[in-house]
Amino acid sequence: MSGMSTGSLSAMVLAAGEGTRMRSERPKPLHRLCGRPMVLHVLDALAELDIDRVVVVVGHGAEWVGRTLVDHAPKNLSIELVTQHEQLGTGDATAVGLTGLPDDAGSGDDQDGDVVVLPGDTPLVRPPTLAALVRHHRERQAGATLLTADVADAVGYGRVVRGKDGTVVRIVEEREATAEERSITEINTSIYCFRRSVLAPSLRRLRPANEQGEYYLTDVVEVLSEAGYKVEALVVADPMEAAGVNDRAQLAVAEAELRDRINERWMRRGVTMWDPEHTYVDADVQLSPDVSLLPGVVLRGECTVGEAAEIGPGSTLVDTQIGERAEVRNSICVGAVVGPGARVGPFATLGPGAVVGPEETVPPFTSLGGDVGGLDNRS
């Protein structure tokens, strides 16, 4: 982000929706991918940018979501929680979110400040993509910049309509699109960067988009364009980055993508995976160089595995510490500590509180520590 505008950069994460298609009592932003709530993956990406403040708009399950953010959000982010008490669309949510930003933002010496707005259900977006969005926005001196994607099948998505000069003039939803507009393959990802000083006035010009009285953030694009502000678009190289998660099927697709990324990252850092497609490593796991993971290994929660340790095949570890050169074979370990050079299993069970000393051996079919229960009882 160096060399860009010195104006402030804030971010807003829209995480107030109920997510009825998930068919769950758990708020949609808290459904997990690779062991970490979905909205935290979004915040992890924002944490890589030089951001002054992040506003998270909560609604359904606000207390639960807020507690999760307080306990687990990146510590380097200054996060403000704002509640949207009545779900009246993304436009209303953004207006509510602006109340969480400083009153002087977008005025005086800070008139060139910008705000990134994105949904809490886009856990695959990468930090370099968000940085590129802000950079493009500032280089073009735009009032707003959209992150868009060019896809082969645009059915169901809002289409990006550009003017003759290449700037964006509006976003049209499929149900309102003409036949010509439906042929457009560039879609809106619902990730934006706005000039802070023009966002609030444009939101005030929105009108309800349906009988439910909802206000859509997409309509801001046309408002800004008609008012003479430049609206730019940056096409994301990998459309998967902007994929939203609205139901369990989409959750599984996002989970598979994220696991592939995690496994590739660890292999490039010196971890051996005999069968990456059947190796499951959560986002908070820490692995050392020369670790070997055999087929069927599942590492969940905050596991740490020391250098040259070997895990598997068919072992499941949850919140467990494994020392260097240790071996765990076909065993289950939950909340346990295994010392350097120790040998566990096969078919051993280590429950919470179990400690295996350096160079010790846990014989087959041995149980130590507390009950492993359902392996993971975290909320």
**Hey, which residues are catalytic here?**
21
The side-by-side arrangement of strands in the sheet containing 316-318 is 280-281, 298-300, 316-318, 332-334, 349-350, 367-368
Please state, in angstroms and rounded to a whole number, the distance separating the CA atoms of residues 191 and 117. Answer: 6
- C-alpha dihedral, 265 to 38 to 281 to 48, nearest 10°: 30
Number of Cβ within a 10 Å radius of residue 101: 24
| Site of tokens 């590739």 | 264
Among residues 339, 307, 294, which one has the least CA distance to residue 321? 339
Q: Which residues of 70-89 are buried (b: 16+ CB within 10 A; e: fewer)?
A: eeebeeebebbbbebeeebb
Structure tokens at 326: 């240790």
Number of Cβ within a 10 Å radius of residue 156: 9
Structure tokens at 23: 């068919």
